[in-house]
Structure 1
Amino acid sequence: MAEIERLTITLPSDMAAAIKGAVNGGDYASTSEVVREAVRDWKMKRALQLQELAALKTDIDKGLADVAAGRVRDFDADRIIERGRTLLASRSPSA
């Protein structure tokens, strides 16, 4: 079993009320359970953010390498806008 450490936290009254409401409503057995679930959710969200940032950094590095190697095209805003519209249209549900 994981080692348990007691922490004291300070929350705004609306957050404290939401936690107490979840416990009083029977969704959780204790305020500690609510906070543990919130921390688990935060950790998962943070891990996804870090993965997305790493992927973005990889894309930026690839783009910079392409520029350095001369693998570039002239900027064409109209072409980019048209491509975006095409992608958007392919994702939109048909009426």
Structure 2
Amino acid sequence: MQTEKLSISLPVDMAQMVRRRVESGRYASNSEVIRDALRVWQQREEEREERLHSIRDALNQAAADPVRYSESELRQHFDRLLAEAEKKQKA
């Protein structure tokens, strides 16, 4: 793996958190902690992009073939989606 050295500044509490992870033995270096955090961030961003892509696809499909729903049907649908999203966040 090729590497490039970067110099970053962190708030004191974040720098202490990084040091604690190294001191605990979980990571070998500060760089390893930062790389792991960046991998998690990258995964989250990729998942976000996938969700946005799905939403765009659904919107495009709906625009191409609109279906009319009652207010009650829409409310039930979005209440269900909200409940599912909240359940996933808690997991």
Do these two structures clear the TM 0.5 threshold for a shared fold by scoring above it? yes
Bigger-Rg structure (1/2): 1
**Superposition TM-score tier, normalisation by shorter sequence:** 0.7 to 0.9
Structure 2 runs not aligned, ≥5 long: 84-91
- The Cα shift of 1:78 comes to 2.3
**When you count helix as a share of all residues, which structure comes out higher?**
2
Secondary structure of the structure 2 residue equivalent to 1:28? coil
Tell me the TM-score normalized by structure 2. 0.77
- 2:47 corresponds to 1:59: no
* Alignment RMSD (CA, Å): 2.2
What is the percent sequence identity of the aligned residues?
Answer: 32
- The Cα shift of 1:85 comes to 7.0
Q: Which has the higher contact order (CA 8 A, sep 6+)?
A: 2
Write out the 4+ residue segments of structure 1 that deviate beyond 3 Å after TM superposition: 79-88
Structure 1 runs not aligned, ≥5 long: 89-95
**Aligned residue in 1 for 2:88:** none
Secondary structure of the structure 1 residue equivalent to 2:65? helix
